[in-house]
Amino acid sequence: MNRKFLASLALLLCLTTTFAQSTDKTPSFIRKKVIEYGWDVPYADYVSQNIAQMEKLPFDGLIFKLRSIGVILSTKPADPEKLKGDFEACKAIKTSKFTDNFIIGWAASEQDWFDDAHWEVILQNTKNLAKAAKLANCVGICFDHEPYGFNPWSYAKAKHRETKTFLEYEAIARKRGAQFARALESEFPGLKVLTFFQLSYFASLCKPMEPAKRAELLANNGYAFLPAFLNGMLDAATPNLMIIDGNENAYYYTNQNQYYEVYHRVKQSAEYLIDPANWYKYKNQVQAGQALYIDYYFDMGSKSRRLNKFLTPEEQALWFEHNIYWAMKTTDEYVWCYSERMNWWLNRTVPPGCEDAIVKAREAHDEGKPFTKDLKSALDKGRERQAEELGAKLVKPKATIPKIPANIQKPQIDGKFDGQAWENAIELNNLVGVINQTPEVKAKTSVKACYDDKALYLAVTCNEPEMNKLIAPELKRDDANIWKGDSLELFFAAPEKKTPVSHLIVNPSSSYWDALHLESSNDLGFNPTWQFAVTKQANAWLVEFEIPWAAMTVTPPKPGSTISVNICRQRSAGNEWSSWSPLVSGFLEFNQMGTFTFQK
């Protein structure tokens, strides 16, 4: 008995000693890093000359650029003299506090995925960018996928779309992604690749569905080739290469749950877009990052009437502090801090309280303290002030929609607006400008409406004094490029419900798109049956709609019942946005939908 006791005691002491030794080696806190980026992005030579002064700001690093390489997917070789100058500038950068720096390259390019000659140049540019990052003692490069120019990720705009299938394009994009990763690591083994978004962008596709359906939806997405490119990078990545999904959508967050939801999406749901052969690498070599957008929290002098205009300076700083804290709480390592109408390095138009908010949020996070400040009340007060000022402009319209008499034929959907049904229809108020976008509407949009037991009928006249400036690409159903031009957008929901919202879009070329907005995601697989016809006149384009109740996700109306509705137009000439029910900033303000009441 004593022997057993002594043996047990010895084992316990051994384990205790082992645990003590292990615990003794654990960190006091895990450092999360805030990286600066914005319109003030400096060149390497500026950084080399001013790094000591720059390091006085409360960041852990910055993103800077080269004079020789901007668009990393460019098919034009870097200028040798500029490249030499960049290499010399990078060698001269001596950092102490800024431990995590990145050199940026952009994506917009008319490169041909199938052209090996194009890719020979691109891969050399890639190697040179990585070499510069290594010389500057950066931790890696930043690759901005957003196309500020021609979109290389879109299947709709792909050069060989008529002869190459989407699956063929996915295969070549994956091959190029692997080549890209190898080129980076040939100059900088085990580097980090910070991206502003990866699969965090594809919420509607990161859920159960048939692979063929996912491929169909992805093919119509503006970033159709991005998941394949990422899979290719993972194919070729050595164990030390790290890719950061920067979750650009975090710009607009107002509560902690949004951060946790996207963290789950990046770390788990995103695997729906990853080849199972790469799951292990994805879990271990793709980090979740978070983003901040200073211009969204602070009033930076823009003419828009966004919420930040109605917050006190203290409330603006609180919003920023809140988002820094929760961004650091839910990132694996990096938070990137973006701005436009300010310059950190020249101390130009930096809003009061901005720098202090970073310091306070970091202290609270690093000390393990909870964030107890009440952002919700501050934002609610701002919304009250916004509603008070804009209230007269944001009156939600109501319209009583007549029912087509039984002895009158329903409209024939041909875009001509003839027939007796339209004679008895109600004409709605003309569309008005979205407050932050269109102070004055120059092209009138009028709408007529009527209904029967099967459907709602709309006749929309889009006056257009500059028909030659219409932008109306011919697209397949659900192609996201429909937003890049003139269009009509319809929104429908059951009364008093924020979601689901049925969203239908038509453009002057009869391209169309439909989706269902849910509480925390969008269902792009929502493809209801509805009809429309487009006709063009000398100074207008017309759309006639027949929309069954099921397509609006509402039940067939009874006399006196209601639904929530908005009708919106995007006009390319003049860059006008207008809507039937007034909006502040954009079409997706579902709390601002008007009401249709159905007459007997």
Torsion angle, alpha carbons of 417, 423, 429, 430, to 10: 30
Topology of the domain covering 28-387: TIM Barrel (3.20.20)
Q: Which range among 215-219, 286-290, 292-296, 505-509 shows the weakest confidence by mean pLDDT? A: 215-219
Residues 400-408, mean pLDDT to the nearest whole number:
95
By three-state DSSP, how is residue 145 classified? Answer: coil
What is the spatial distance between Cα 362 and Cα 370, in angstroms, rounded to a whole number? 12
Q: Are 473 and 491 in contact (CB under 8 A)?
A: no
pLDDT greater than 60 at residue 204: yes
Q: Are 183 and 126 in contact (CB under 8 A)?
A: yes
pLDDT confidence of residue 8: 60
pLDDT at 498: 77
Give the integer Cα–Cα distance in Å for 101 and 122: 23
d(CA 541, CA 440): 20
CA pair distance 179, 235, nearest whole angstrom: 10
pLDDT reading at 1 higher than 80:
no
The Cα 420–Cα 428 span in angstroms is 18
Dihedral over Cα of 534, 535, 536, 542: its sign: negative
pLDDT of residue 478 exceeding 80, the answer is yes
Predicted local confidence at residue 29, as pLDDT: 76
Torsion of CA 36, 40, 43, 46, to 10 degrees: -90
Residue 547, strand partner residues:
456
pLDDT tens per residue, range 359-375: 999 999 999 999 999 99
- Intra-chain end-to-end CA distance of the chain, in Å: 92
Q: Which of 249, 155, 139 is nearest to 203 (CA)?
A: 249
Vertex 95, ends 322 and 192: CA angle to 5°? 65
Task: Break the chain into its structural domains and give their ranges.
Answer: 28-387, 394-598
DSSP, collapsed to helix, strand or coil, labels residue 537 as: strand
The answer, yes or no, to whether the previous bond of 402 is cis (omega within 30 of 0) is no
Q: Is the pLDDT of residue 15 over 60?
A: no
- β 426-427/487-493 pair status: unpaired
Is residue 531 a contact partner of residue 413, using CB atoms and an 8 Å limit? yes
Is residue 43's pLDDT more than 90?
Answer: yes
Whole-number mean pLDDT of the chain?
93
- Write out the two tokens for 457: 């009928």
Please tell me whether the overall predicted TM-score, pTM, comes out greater than 0.85 for this model: no
> Do the bridges between strand 398-401 and strand 540-548 make them parallel or antiparallel, or are there none, so unpaired?
unpaired
CA trace torsion 76, 77, 82, 84 (10° rounding): 170
pLDDT at site 544: 97
Structure tokens at 596: 């249709």
Residue 273 has pLDDT above 60, yes or no: yes
pLDDT of residue 9: 55
pLDDT above 80 for 586: yes
From 1.10.4160.10, 2.30.40.10, 3.50.50.60, 2.60.40.1190, which CATH number describes the 394-598 domain? Answer: 2.60.40.1190
170: left (phi over 0), alpha (psi -120 to 50) or beta: alpha
Q: Report, as an integer, the average pLDDT of 181-196.
A: 98
Residue 555 identity:
T
More confident residue, 332 or 526: 332
- Tokens 């989407």 found at: 166
